[in-house]
Structure 1
């Protein structure tokens, strides 16, 4: 095991990825400012839905977030240049983790992957070459790295792609219903809008998505299919970038190919002056047992967490329980309606509550179909009313439609949701059981 994990290999793939990754996270930070994402999601809303247990992050929101993201962008530049790399990467990882945890209304699996990669990169020797750190401090300069560095990056990417593929094996994806719904919103795209409405395009997207996610890492690992895999990766991710407009993720995914090509090819194409490591040394650190144990725990967690929805009552497609952090990407379209009622516990009088006054536009849309957001809204309403001197129960009447199907009642209107505890690994009983026909398609006229 030591010979396998701690054998030294050339580090060109890692240092090139560091530069590209630094550029992309810089674009992510400054782009969020330029496009108004920060303003819409973290400045204007009077209340956002943070990850449960991280309510203290609400205090950071407001105009402070403009400076917060600008600081992230500066650290991203430092990462790209390899300047004060360890500090800069850890700082960016902390700040991005805060962004990820402080709001769920614009939840994106790609944000989660970026958070994981930030923390992984923070502890890798990615500044030992092609960096300002190595230029200013030649003592740290090295053309090599231990093999485990390469392996953990490949394994992390492999887990993401594999779960993304397996999750698509369900009827509404396989019969193109989900893709057809997504493409309806792209009909006004210049030049390709009409093409995206064609049935054969939907079939192509459905099965290309499954096969690409399942096979891309094996294709890149095998030398004979590596170049084919790289070309397919470029086509697939550029298509996703144009059609789905998902930020830096497609370009980060293309950059993952740097971990698969040989050092000789990378050196010839990108860094011809870099020293090529031709040794075969095995350098086993004193902390090797601890390192292997930590990595084992991390990957057991990464493999196990996406499976947790199988241990919940009912279908994750209906309840949403176990959906996040599971690489269930582009799988369903949900819409809903929500009415909120409060009842004073002293007189029992129940009245309609206009919750829209305390939410931003994005929050109003997302709360209608996601139970953890409903629970947080109930807690917020109870808190607001308590400040006015009233102890209230909060009841919710929600109807949900999945993948264009009919609307069905989602919440038990007789349960005070504000009095319920939230259990991240336990089913919430106030969510009604899924009806038999909840995935039925609407009748086409």
Structure 2
């Protein structure tokens, strides 16, 4: 019965239209990074980037290389939109995007992670079987149907993202609307709406509307009686986020996903009037049905497990960041801090002159002042740089951070030589001091640095 349900053929209008929109949006993401100066600020300012640990070999191309890199990546996005060499193009874009994602953490964003996952999913889907240059060149590819599992995979991925985003908001600083107040306080100078966003009732609405929207939007779109109103609420929610938070293509990608919740005839009548509507009831079991089940079964087990891992790691994820990434913890807190590094020559015992501000961009300085994994990475780089000069050094870190507008508290044990500290990829690092957050209460003046 399960295989009959998964492999029953259904109309593919939603997937075809989504491919066109998806291709346009990923093109805008790539070429927009060039036009807005994102590449310069994130990848070119500073002597290096803070890559994901273990991917040190991924560093920006020299000179104008990253501009060409993003230019080519955008071209692959155009190919995806047009359905030209679709499979190759979406895989190529996905590989290039993944490299950039792993290359830097200064602009970490959950939406970048989601796009990486979506590119992998889209590479597995038959999204080029209609309205594509591939079909024009090879008419035998043309198909007006697809297996039902395509819908299931996309909706399941969205459900995981939104559900965990809702659950993550169930903590004190969000529930008392103080985090929403802090987010809006940073936008008090916005034209026309700046003063409006400072109203307390607006903060309460933002806080609880965010919880309810994330938690209920997928079921509401699946349930026919609530589908239309959920769609219009989605338009308001995502356009509000786009205007207020400036989060790139994500709001528009989210709106494009609503295509998969409406009847195929609705999508066909609006976007593909010349397309024949598939009304058959075929069940086509491919030869690779077991590999599909195993692959996506493991994929979704991992997707469900990753956001839970911080619960088995010691202390508070808001404080130590351990388990924060890849967990759909979006727009939940603000962090800022101050940091200084003391570099000691082991041979002489004397402190060596060192100023991290001379080596890091402003964005990197903000990140290195609040994230333990980045602090550890930077200490290893400092150690390597001095080793090139023939010096063996010990490095001690004085770092104090504030979370959600609280007081400054020491983050790193100042007595630990961070040059010789070890990084635990999966569990707690004991050189991170215990969290004081249970004794902290959010209050103005608010910190100004808003992180993902």
1:277-292 matches, cutoff 5 A: 277-292=278-293
SS in structure 2 at match of 1:57:
coil
- Distance, in Å, in 2 between the alignment partners of 1:322 and 1:27 is 30
Partner SS for 1:340 = strand
Counterpart of 1:375 in structure 2 is: 376
CA contact (8 A) 1:5 1:146 kept: yes
> C-alpha separation between the residues in 2 aligned to 1:444 and 1:137?
63
Residues in 1 aligned to 2:425 and 2:129: alpha-carbon distance in whole angstroms = 41
- Determine the structure 2 residue equivalent to 1:319: 320
Structure 1 distance, partners of 2:445, 2:107, is 31
Distance 2:306 2:445 in 1: 38
Conservation of the 8 A alpha-carbon contact between 1:408 and 1:438? no
Confirm or deny: 8 A CA contact 2:405 2:445 kept in the other structure: no
Q: Is the 8 A contact 1:309 1:316 kept in 2?
A: yes
Contact 1:233–1:254 (Cα < 8 Å) also in 2? yes
Cα pair distance change 1:52/1:443, threshold 3 Å? closer
How far 1:178 moved relative to its partner?
Answer: 1.1
Unpaired runs of 5+ residues, structure 2, are 447-452
Which deviates more, 286-295 or 231-240? Answer: 286-295
Q: How many Å separate the matches in 2 of 1:142 and 1:253?
A: 26
Task: Provide the C-alpha distance between the structure 1 equivalents of 2:442 and 2:188, rounded to a whole number of angstroms.
Answer: 21
Contact 2:337 2:369 in 1 (8 A): yes
Task: Give the match's secondary structure for 2:396.
Answer: strand
Counterpart in the other structure of 1:245: 246
Residue number in structure 2 paired with 1:267 = 268
Number of residues of Structure 1 aligned to a counterpart in Structure 2: 445
Q: Secondary structure at the match of 2:401?
A: strand
Q: Show CA shifts across 1:139-183 (max 9, x none).
A: 010001111111000000110000000000000011111111111
The answer (yes or no) to whether the contact 1:341–1:394 under 8 Å persists in 2 is yes
- Contact 1:339–1:352 (CA under 8 A) maintained in structure 2: no
SS state of the match for residue 399, structure 1?
strand
Aligned to 1:233: 234
Query: Corresponding residue for 1:135?
Result: 136
Measured in 2, the distance between the counterparts of 1:200 and 1:442 equals 17
Alpha-carbon shift at residue 60 of structure 1 (Å): 2.9
Aligned-residue offset at 1:55:
0.7
Change (3 A) 1:61 1:109: farther
Residue 276 of structure 2 is aligned to residue 257 of structure 1:
no
Cα deviation for residue 109 of structure 1 reads: 0.4
- Per the alignment, do residues 371 and 33 of structure 1 end up closer, same or farther by CA in structure 2, a change over 3 Å counting? same
* Distance in structure 2 (CA, Å) of the matches to 1:439 and 1:64: 46
Contact 1:401 1:438 in 2 (8 A): no
What residue in structure 1 maps to residue 30 of structure 2?
29
Q: Deviations over 1:87-124 (max 9, x none)?
A: 10000000000111100001100000011001110111
CA displacement at 1:349 relative to structure 2 = 2.3
8 A Cα contact 2:319 2:437, kept in partner: no
Structure 1 residue aligned with 2:89: 88
State the alpha-carbon separation in 1 of the partners of residues 326 and 346 from structure 2. Answer: 37
1:91-130 to structure 2, matched below 5 A, reads: 91-130=92-131
Residue 18 of structure 1: aligned partner: 19
2:419 and 2:146 map into 1 onto residues whose CA distance is 52
Q: Specify the alignment match of 1:182 in structure 2.
A: 183
Q: How far has the Cα of 1:348 moved from its partner?
A: 2.4
Cα–Cα, structure 1 residues 436 and 258, in superposed 2: closer, same or farther, change >3 Å?
closer
Partner residue in 1 for 2:174: 173
**TM-score (norm: length of structure 2):** 0.96
Distance 2:437 2:292 in 1: 48
Gap change, CA 1:263 and 1:436, over 3 Å in 2: closer
| 1:359-438 equivalence runs, <5 A | 359-435=360-436, 437-438=438-439
Secondary structure in 2 matching 1:338: strand
CA distance in structure 1 between the partners assigned to 2:193 and 2:445 by the alignment = 24
Contact 1:48–1:359 under 8 Å retained in 2: no
Change over 3 Å in CA distance of 1:286–1:169 after alignment to 2: same
Contact kept in structure 2, 1:406 and 1:438, CA below 8 Å: no
Distance 1:61 1:292, change over 3 A: farther
- Paired with 2:291 and 2:269, the residues of 1 have a C-alpha distance of 37
TM-superposition CA deviations, 1:341-370 (whole Å, max 9, x none): 111121222345211112111101111010
> Unpaired runs of 5+ in structure 1?
none
**RMSD, aligned α-carbons:** 1.3
1:426 positional shift: 1.3
The Cα of 1:436 is off from its aligned counterpart by: 5.6
What are the Cα deviations for residues 383-418 of structure 1, in whole angstroms up to 9, with x where unaligned?
Answer: 110111101111101001010011111110111112
Separation in structure 2 between the aligned mates of residue 96 and residue 205 of structure 1, nearest angstrom: 32
SS in 1 for 2:441: coil
Q: Is the 8 A contact 1:345 1:391 kept in 2?
A: yes
Match of 1:295 in 2: 296
